Structure formats: C-alpha cells, structure tokens
Amino acid sequence: MRLRISPAGYVLLTGDLVAFLLFVYYGKLAHHLPVTFSGMLETLAPFLIGWLIAMLLFRSYSPRAYVSAGRLLLSTLLTWTVAAPIGLVLRSWWTGVPITLLFTAVTYFITLAFLLGWRIPFAIVRALKKRSSHTAL
C-alpha cells in the first residue's frame, strides 16, 4: 500500500499535529503538571500511534478524504473514533494507569474539538477556493 499525500494533505497533517500538541499542552496545564518535552511526548505518543494506525486504515490524508467538507468531517470522526481507543489502551499499558470512563470521554471529545476546531475552517477555505476557481473559468 502506497501512501500518497498531496500538499493540502500535508497542511492537514501539520494542523493535526498542532491540534494534538495543544491538547496535550493544555491538559498538562489543567492538571498542574510540568510541561516538558519528555512529558509531552510520553502523553502524545500513544495517541499519535493510534492516529497513525487509523489514518492508514482510512487513508485520512488522501485527497478523497477531504474532497468536500462532509467527507472531511466523516474522515475526522472515523479516524479519531478508531485512534482514540488505541491511544487510550497504549497509554494505559505504557503508564500502568487504568482507563477511566471520565478520562476516555474527556480525551475523546476535547481532542475531537481541537481537531475539528481547525479542520472545519480548513474545509471552508478549501470549499471557497474550489468555488472561486470554478467561477473564474
């Protein structure tokens, strides 16, 4: 399986990484934990592994995944819905901290909000660019 990512896909990937970093950063602050590189990496790594697995499964950065705002929303929901449990299990295994329903819900919904918080504007800008290129013809 060959992974093809267009320039817009790289923009998506970069934005998603920033969204994950912001989630971890604000989580550390909210829990009064030190914000260190190693601490952020330890928290972030399991979820990035989950995201990578789900991203490959759903081809979340292929042009087809964001051809429309609806497809982008569906791709985001599917990818994160598969990635989150993988990340939670890996995090629990790595840290020895059991998974709780509250942590699961907060992690799922807040990270989804971070992802959609930037992906929705991305979809709007892409739609406007697409519309303006069609009207210019």
Domain residue limits, the chain: 7-132
Determine the Cα–Cα distance for residues 92 and 76; give it in Å rounded to an integer: 24
Q: Is the dihedral of CA 111, 25, 121, 86 positive or negative?
A: negative
Answer yes or no: is pLDDT of 114 > 70: yes
Instruction: Report pLDDT digits (tens) over 56-103.
Output: 999 999 989 988 999 999 999 999 999 999 999 999 999 999 999 999
- pLDDT of amino acid 24: 96
Q: Compute the average pLDDT of residues 97-126.
A: 95
